[in-house]
Structure 1
Protein backbone atom coordinates (compact mmCIF):
# COMPACT_ATOMS: atom_id res chain seq x y z
CA UNK A 1 0.00 0.00 0.00
CA UNK A 2 1.02 3.56 -0.63
CA UNK A 3 1.78 5.84 2.29
CA UNK A 4 -0.75 8.35 0.90
CA UNK A 5 -4.45 7.60 0.54
CA UNK A 6 -5.87 7.55 -2.98
CA UNK A 7 -8.98 9.40 -1.78
CA UNK A 8 -10.48 10.68 1.44
CA UNK A 9 -13.98 11.92 2.28
CA UNK A 10 -15.08 13.42 5.61
CA UNK A 11 -18.58 14.11 6.90
CA UNK A 12 -18.77 15.44 10.43
CA UNK A 13 -16.55 13.23 12.59
CA UNK A 14 -16.61 10.32 10.11
CA UNK A 15 -13.82 9.82 7.56
CA UNK A 16 -13.56 7.22 4.80
CA UNK A 17 -10.02 6.70 3.53
CA UNK A 18 -9.46 4.80 0.27
CA UNK A 19 -6.18 2.98 -0.28
CA UNK A 20 -4.96 1.59 -3.62
CA UNK A 21 -3.03 -1.67 -3.49
CA UNK A 22 -1.94 -3.56 -6.62
CA UNK A 23 -5.06 -2.88 -8.68
CA UNK A 24 -7.67 -3.07 -5.95
CA UNK A 25 -8.95 -0.63 -3.38
CA UNK A 26 -9.63 -0.96 0.33
CA UNK A 27 -11.51 1.46 2.57
CA UNK A 28 -11.05 2.39 6.22
CA UNK A 29 -13.94 4.19 7.92
CA UNK A 30 -13.22 5.85 11.25
CA UNK A 31 -14.83 8.21 13.75
CA UNK A 32 -12.72 10.99 15.28
CA UNK A 33 -13.07 11.96 18.94
CA UNK A 34 -11.09 13.76 21.63
CA UNK A 35 -9.81 11.70 24.55
CA UNK A 36 -9.72 12.88 28.18
CA UNK A 37 -6.46 14.77 27.57
CA UNK A 38 -7.93 16.62 24.57
CA UNK A 39 -5.97 14.66 21.95
CA UNK A 40 -7.71 13.61 18.73
CA UNK A 41 -8.12 9.85 18.41
CA UNK A 42 -10.03 7.58 16.05
CA UNK A 43 -12.19 4.50 16.45
CA UNK A 44 -14.10 2.07 14.27
CA UNK A 45 -17.00 2.03 16.75
CA UNK A 46 -20.00 4.19 15.88
CA UNK A 47 -23.01 5.53 17.75
CA UNK A 48 -26.50 5.60 16.31
CA UNK A 49 -26.06 9.28 15.37
CA UNK A 50 -22.93 8.44 13.31
CA UNK A 51 -24.56 5.83 11.08
CA UNK A 52 -25.96 8.12 8.39
CA UNK A 53 -22.54 9.73 7.87
CA UNK A 54 -20.91 6.27 7.85
CA UNK A 55 -23.31 5.22 5.08
CA UNK A 56 -22.78 8.44 3.10
CA UNK A 57 -18.99 8.17 3.36
CA UNK A 58 -19.12 4.53 2.25
CA UNK A 59 -21.32 5.47 -0.71
CA UNK A 60 -19.01 8.31 -1.78
CA UNK A 61 -15.98 6.05 -1.49
CA UNK A 62 -17.73 3.38 -3.60
CA UNK A 63 -18.64 5.95 -6.28
CA UNK A 64 -15.05 7.22 -6.41
CA UNK A 65 -13.64 3.69 -6.67
CA UNK A 66 -16.13 2.76 -9.41
CA UNK A 67 -15.08 5.81 -11.42
CA UNK A 68 -11.43 4.86 -11.09
CA UNK A 69 -12.09 1.28 -12.18
CA UNK A 70 -14.19 2.40 -15.15
CA UNK A 71 -11.59 4.92 -16.32
CA UNK A 72 -13.66 8.04 -15.56
CA UNK A 73 -12.00 10.95 -13.84
Structure 2
Protein backbone atom coordinates (compact mmCIF):
# COMPACT_ATOMS: atom_id res chain seq x y z
CA UNK A 1 0.00 0.00 0.00
CA UNK A 2 1.27 3.45 -0.88
CA UNK A 3 1.69 6.02 1.84
CA UNK A 4 0.84 9.68 1.31
CA UNK A 5 3.66 12.05 0.45
CA UNK A 6 2.19 14.65 2.81
CA UNK A 7 -0.97 15.50 4.76
CA UNK A 8 -2.37 18.91 5.66
CA UNK A 9 -5.07 19.24 8.32
CA UNK A 10 -7.19 22.25 9.22
CA UNK A 11 -9.97 21.51 11.66
CA UNK A 12 -11.88 18.53 10.30
CA UNK A 13 -10.56 18.98 6.74
CA UNK A 14 -7.60 16.96 5.45
CA UNK A 15 -5.72 17.27 2.18
CA UNK A 16 -3.80 14.09 1.41
CA UNK A 17 -1.08 14.52 -1.21
CA UNK A 18 0.04 11.53 -3.27
CA UNK A 19 3.20 11.32 -5.35
CA UNK A 20 2.72 9.15 -8.43
CA UNK A 21 6.20 9.17 -9.95
CA UNK A 22 6.50 12.94 -9.92
CA UNK A 23 2.82 13.61 -10.67
CA UNK A 24 1.00 14.75 -7.55
CA UNK A 25 -2.67 14.33 -6.79
CA UNK A 26 -4.69 15.54 -3.81
CA UNK A 27 -7.63 14.01 -1.98
CA UNK A 28 -9.75 16.34 0.15
CA UNK A 29 -11.94 14.93 2.92
CA UNK A 30 -13.89 15.96 6.01
CA UNK A 31 -13.83 13.85 9.17
CA UNK A 32 -16.96 13.29 11.25
CA UNK A 33 -18.27 10.93 13.91
CA UNK A 34 -21.13 8.61 13.02
CA UNK A 35 -23.99 7.64 15.34
CA UNK A 36 -21.71 5.04 17.00
CA UNK A 37 -19.07 7.74 17.68
CA UNK A 38 -16.70 6.11 15.18
CA UNK A 39 -14.63 8.45 12.98
CA UNK A 40 -15.56 8.43 9.30
CA UNK A 41 -14.64 10.60 6.34
CA UNK A 42 -16.56 12.10 3.45
CA UNK A 43 -15.80 14.13 0.37
CA UNK A 44 -18.98 16.16 0.87
CA UNK A 45 -18.54 19.59 2.43
CA UNK A 46 -20.91 22.05 4.06
CA UNK A 47 -20.70 25.80 3.63
CA UNK A 48 -18.85 26.12 6.95
CA UNK A 49 -16.16 23.71 5.67
CA UNK A 50 -15.37 25.62 2.50
CA UNK A 51 -12.85 28.11 3.89
CA UNK A 52 -10.74 25.27 5.34
CA UNK A 53 -11.15 23.30 2.09
CA UNK A 54 -9.79 26.30 0.16
CA UNK A 55 -6.93 26.81 2.62
CA UNK A 56 -5.98 23.11 2.50
CA UNK A 57 -6.05 23.18 -1.31
CA UNK A 58 -3.85 26.28 -1.37
CA UNK A 59 -1.36 24.79 1.11
CA UNK A 60 -1.29 21.56 -0.89
CA UNK A 61 -0.52 23.50 -4.06
CA UNK A 62 2.31 25.36 -2.30
CA UNK A 63 3.75 22.10 -0.91
CA UNK A 64 3.64 20.43 -4.34
CA UNK A 65 5.26 23.46 -6.00
CA UNK A 66 8.09 23.41 -3.45
CA UNK A 67 8.65 19.69 -4.03
CA UNK A 68 8.66 20.18 -7.78
CA UNK A 69 11.11 23.08 -7.57
CA UNK A 70 13.37 21.17 -5.15
CA UNK A 71 13.60 18.26 -7.62
CA UNK A 72 14.70 20.43 -10.57
Structure 2: runs of 5 or more not aligned: none
Q: Secondary structure of 1:38's match? A: coil
Q: Tell me the CA shift for residue 57 of structure 1.
A: 0.2
Aligned to 2:15: 16
Aligned to 1:66: 65
Matched ranges for 1:22-41 at <5 A = 22-41=21-40
CA distance in 2 between partners of 1:58 and 1:37 (Å)? 30
Considering only aligned residues, what root-mean-square deviation do their CA atoms show, in Å? Answer: 1.2
Q: Aligned pair count?
A: 71
Structure 1: runs of 5 or more not aligned: none
How high is the TM-score relative to the length of structure 2?
0.94
CA distance in 2 between partners of 1:71 and 1:11 (Å)? 25
Aligned to 2:53: 54
How high is the TM-score relative to the length of structure 1?
0.93
